[in-house]
Amino acid sequence: MLEKSAAAVQTAPSHPRVKAGKIENLTERINRLSDDISRRAFELFEQDGRVHGHDLRHWLEAEQGFLHPMCVNMEETKADIVVHAEVPGFTASDLEVDVEPRRVTITGKRETKMESKKGEPFHTEVSRDELFRTFDLPSEVNAAKVVATLKDGILDIQLPKAEAKKSVSAAQRAA
């Protein structure tokens, strides 16, 4: 079951958006990214003369063009789970953290545009870079109390653990 809301941490520009995960939204993102990678892999297949047998190489090369690698380190204490993710070059407004009780998804998207106006013709180059990483957590967290900060290309996500549910015995329920 998904949390209904999560804290949107927006107190400073170094805080990315944090929100409860929406499966439909996440599914749409995965489908869009998969479609983009498929199209690029097909373009590479055509550039290689439509020679079969290089599907994996084409897919991985296309994927590399869309997804930026992200190294993640996770630490667990009695009260929290802390995730440290390397996201160099991304700003807080480029990043989004979706939190479910036992899963975290980090996404990011940035576009850079370079223009050259040396005489005629005019030249523009656009580069797009995306992050996508999802992972399961070792225990349930309270999505409403998540805090994410970004400093020096490191995204730190502090995920307070959810309080353990107390079991009620049959004798206590009858009383």
Peptide bond into 69 cis (omega under 30): no
Q: Coil, helix or strand for 146?
A: coil
pLDDT attached to residue 12: 40
Residue 165 carries which side chain, given as an amino acid letter?
Answer: K
pLDDT attached to residue 115: 75
Q: Buried b vs exposed e over 136-158: b needs ≥16 C-beta within 10 Å?
A: ebeebbbbebbbbbbeeeebebe
Q: Angle at Cα 74 formed by Cα 68 and Cα 80, nearest 5°?
A: 135
Q: Are 163 and 30 in contact (CB under 8 A)?
A: no
- Domain ranges in the chain are 17-21+67-163
Question: What is the mean pLDDT of each successive set of 10 residues along the chain, which is 175 residues long?
Answer: 34 54 65 85 88 87 77 93 92 90 88 73 70 89 91 94 68 56
CATH of domain 17-21+67-163: 2.60.40.790
pLDDT attached to residue 7: 36
Judged on CB neighbours under 10 Å (0-12, 13-18, 19+), 172 is exposed
SS3 percent helix, strand, coil of the chain, rounded to 5, is 25, 35, 35
